[in-house]
């Protein structure tokens, strides 16, 4: 055989082998690509499920926290309102209910604080501080008022009333509005 035909034969054999090898590699890469795409789709789906569950948990926590805040604020306002015609037992029950409401609000917040951003935590902790200041301040003011003279008693009551007014008319509403804005933004509500 001539050298020419040998070169052609070698070229055909090498070309055929390269073609089959290329097709095999191509099919293997396509199969691996499909497997990787399936794995990626699975990871994305699991991530979406986790995110959806986390979002749902956060949504429930935000709603419950705000609900407990409104209930606690209402109970505290009722407890410190002057001129309420409650008997001793009713006032004691109201005090216990108010403290229980504050405690439930605090416990719920601290159990779920990990779900809230730093700004929200700061606002809630300030609200907790204000609620406790009013609750305990009322008790202290009542104790002191029974032992001091009328002028000082009136002065103490006026100071406490001003603090309560500032807290319930300005400080807590401002903090609640910040919470509303933050929670609404989280929910996608404008």
Q: Rounded to a whole number, what is the distance in angstroms from the first to the last CA of the chain?
A: 86
Q: Is the pLDDT confidence value at 48 over 80? A: no
Phi/psi at 87 (nearest 5 deg)?
Answer: -75, 175
User: Cα(40)–Cα(60) distance, rounded to whole angstroms?
Assistant: 30
- Beta-carbon contacts of 144 under 8 Å, excluding residues fewer than 6 positions away, are 156
Residue with tokens 């609200």: 127
Q: Please, how many CA atoms are within 13 Å of residue 55, restricted to the half-sphere of its CB? A: 10
pLDDT at 38: 83
Q: What is the DSSP letter of 170?
A: I
Q: What is the mean pLDDT of residues 28-53?
A: 81
Q: Is the pLDDT confidence value at 86 over 70? A: no
60-187: CATH topology: de novo design (two linked rop proteins) (1.20.1440)
Q: Is the pLDDT confidence value at 176 over 80? A: yes
Single pTM value for the model: 0.69
The Cα-based distances of 87 to 1, 84, 140 in angstroms read: 124, 9, 20
What does the pLDDT look like over 135-154, one tens digit per residue?
988 887 777 767 777 777 77
- Beta-carbon contacts of 91 under 8 Å, excluding residues fewer than 6 positions away, are 84
């Amino acid at each position: 055989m001539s050298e020419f035909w040998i070169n052609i034969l070698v070229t055909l054999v090498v070309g055929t082998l390269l073609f089959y090898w290329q097709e095999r590699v191509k099919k293997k890469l396509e199969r691996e690509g499909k497997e990787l795409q399936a794995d990626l789709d699975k990871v994305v789906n699991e991530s979406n499920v986790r995110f959806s569950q986390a979002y749902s948990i956060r949504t429930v926590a935000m709603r419950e926290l705000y609900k407990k805040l409104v209930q606690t604020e209402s109970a505290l306002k009722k407890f410190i309102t002057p001129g309420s015609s409650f008997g001793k037992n009713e006032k004691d029950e109201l005090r216990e209910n108010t403290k229980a409401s504050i405690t439930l609000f605090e416990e719920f917040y601290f159990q779920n604080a990990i779900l809230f951003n730093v700004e929200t935590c700061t606002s809630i902790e300030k609200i907790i501080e204000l609620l406790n200041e009013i609750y305990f301040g009322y008790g202290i003011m009542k104790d002191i008022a029974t032992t001091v003279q009328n002028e000082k008693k009136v002065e103490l009551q006026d100071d406490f009333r001003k603090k309560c007014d500032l807290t319930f008319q300005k400080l807590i509403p401002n903090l609640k509005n910040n919470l509303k804005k933050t929670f609404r933004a989280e929910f996608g509500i404008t």
